[in-house]
Amino acid sequence: MAKICPKCGELLDTQEFCNHCHVAIEIYKKIGIESKKIYNLGLKKVEIRDLSGAIDLLNKSIKLDKKNIQARNLLGLVYLEIGEPVMAFKQWVISKNIEPLDNEATGYMDRIQNNQVHLDKLNNAIKKYNQALVFVNQNSIDLAIIQLRAVIGLNPNFTKAYCLLALCYIHENQMDKAKRKLQKVLSIDHNHGTARKYMTWIQSEGHTDEAFEEVKEKEPGYFGLPSLGHSAKVSMNNSMFQFAAVLVGVGIGLAVMAFLIVPSLLSSQKNKNIEAVNQVNALEANQSVLEGQVESMEESIQQADTQMNVLTSELEQNQRQLTQSEKLLGVISLYEDDKATEAARLLEEVEPDALSESALATYEKTVQNIFPQVALDAYNQGYRDYRNGRYEEAITNLELASKYEKDDYFSDEALYYLARSYQRLDQNDLAISTYQKMLDTYPNANFKNDATYFLKALTNN
């Protein structure tokens, strides 16, 4: 089986030394051994639930040896344990492309993807977490807290969400709640650096190190306008006027008394009316303030939606880049397994405009290595098939040769024998078009005279 240099990607002429980049293969063998040692250390970290330490070690392991399947699969499980399914899937997808058969990563992904309800929860949790980050950047801490509590409900092990929620509680000076969230993180990952950092800060501010029992918090309320109070209904009391009218006939003294008392009552009632009107005006002014706050909140939501659309577009672009990179890895894996034809077919599906600069360079080098080789092998086999009268098999191989290489020494002959195979099978229309294509593309072809002769014979019939 053909071997490829792990450094430059060129084919190896020997098993000891690369003639292209001049690297000793023995060095990479030692690096692989070191990668396995670091993987074992990461496994021990997982056993004692030091997940942060395990992530660091496992990343170092696959950095040394990208084909360390065990390290990638375990790293994916650790990421899933801390509530980061995207990072987990990234490792498993790469693992599966490196080793398509008998790979535990396939089962891990299937178990999650086949549970659509759970998958939807994870997706919603990621969206809400991103929205919470937007609210934090806008200093809308209350809205961020609501989003983060919803995130934790959807993804109970999402340590980043717990830490961000704890930070929001610290900002709001709710230290007890912050500490409970940090204790939850440390129960998932005993050595989580961010959680320990926040916990140390809380303790340094004079908060005692008490053991808090995890309790279910009340559901957050909703943001709405308070109902406006109704002004008191004012009614005029006419009994004093009636009483004064009766006393008019009694005497001037009582009439004067009534004249003095009634205006006093009216003045008192008028003051009450003015006070009620002032209260109504104050409530209306408060309503205007609240309406202004609602409008400001709606503008913030619109800005958040715009940012969310930008993030979604970037995510889709990154996903496309990841998909094409995974295909390219699959091509290289097939080529290393001496499956050049399958590698060429998969290479056709790769979209080079979606690749990063480094991946694009690898793609171009892979094209130069695979397509000419597959074309030559296909031409040789197609020519043998034609000579032995296996015209249908010859057509299959010669079409492949013409497709993958158009500028090699055999390219004109591939079209010629392809046209002859069509003619032998009485597929004259295809034979005519293929002869014509050969003459147009290769004016100085070796079989130019023969092709011209057969073309005239077919077109005159």
How far, in Å, CA of 149 to CA of 131, rounded? 12
Task: Please say whether the beta carbons of 149 and 217 come within 8 A.
Answer: yes
| Residue 148, in any domain of the structure | yes
Both 142 and 185 in one domain: the answer is yes
Dihedral sign (CA 297, 299, 302, 304) = negative
**Of the candidates 145, 180, 204, which is a domain's last residue?**
204
For tokens 């069509």, the residue is: 422
| Residue 67, in any domain of the structure | yes
For 93-142, the pLDDT digits (tens) are 998 898 888 888 899 998 888 888 888 888 888 999 999 999 999 888 99
For tokens 């079409």, the residue is: 399
User: Which of 177-191, 200-214, 248-262 has the highest mean predicted lDDT (pLDDT)?
Assistant: 177-191
Locate 135 and state its tokens.
């609210």
| Residue 362, in any domain of the structure | yes
Locate 177 and state its tokens.
């709640």
Both 145 and 109 in one domain: the answer is no
Please give the DSSP secondary-structure letter assigned to residue 174: -
How far, in Å, CA of 152 to CA of 125, rounded? 8
Locate 110 and state its tokens.
């299937």
Q: Which of 285-299, 370-384, 400-414, 436-450 has the lowest mean pLDDT?
A: 285-299
Which residues make Cβ contacts (< 8 Å) with residue 21, sequence separation at least 6?
Answer: 5, 7, 8, 10
Both 143 and 105 in one domain: the answer is no
**Of the candidates 91, 114, 137, which is a domain's last residue?**
114
User: How many domains in the chain?
Assistant: 4
> Which structural domain, as residue segments, surrounds residue 59?
25-114
Q: How much is the pLDDT for 277?
A: 63
How far, in Å, CA of 54 to CA of 191, rounded? 10
How far, in Å, CA of 346 to CA of 332, rounded? 10
Q: How much is the pLDDT for 407?
A: 87
| Residue 440, in any domain of the structure | yes
| Residue 77, in any domain of the structure | yes
How far, in Å, CA of 389 to CA of 421, rounded? 9
Both 101 and 198 in one domain: the answer is no
Between 21 and 203, residue with greater pLDDT: 203
Which residues make Cβ contacts (< 8 Å) with residue 414, sequence separation at least 6?
Answer: 375, 379, 382, 398, 401, 402
| Residue 434, in any domain of the structure | yes
Dihedral sign (CA 180, 185, 186, 191) = negative
| DSSP characters over 175-199 | HHHHHHHHHHHHHH-TT-HHHHHHH
Task: Please say whether the beta carbons of 72 and 105 come within 8 A.
Answer: yes
- Kindly report the CATH number assigned to the domain that includes residue 91: 1.25.40.10
Nearest CA among 91, 96, 85 for reference residue 122: 85
| Residue 377, in any domain of the structure | yes
Q: How much is the pLDDT for 291?
A: 73
**Of the candidates 61, 80, 114, which is a domain's last residue?**
114
| Residue 139, in any domain of the structure | yes
Q: What percent of the chain has pLDDT over 70?
A: 77
How far, in Å, CA of 358 to CA of 50, rounded? 34
Both 449 and 357 in one domain: the answer is yes
C-alpha 317, offset from chain centre: 9
Both 89 and 164 in one domain: the answer is no
pLDDT at residue 261 is higher than 80: no
Both 148 and 242 in one domain: the answer is no
Both 100 and 29 in one domain: the answer is yes
pTM of this prediction? 0.43
Task: Please say whether the beta carbons of 297 and 223 come within 8 A.
Answer: yes
How far, in Å, CA of 329 to CA of 325, rounded? 6
For 35-80, the pLDDT digits (tens) are 899 999 989 989 999 999 999 999 999 998 888 889 999 999 999 9
pLDDT at residue 296 is higher than 90: no
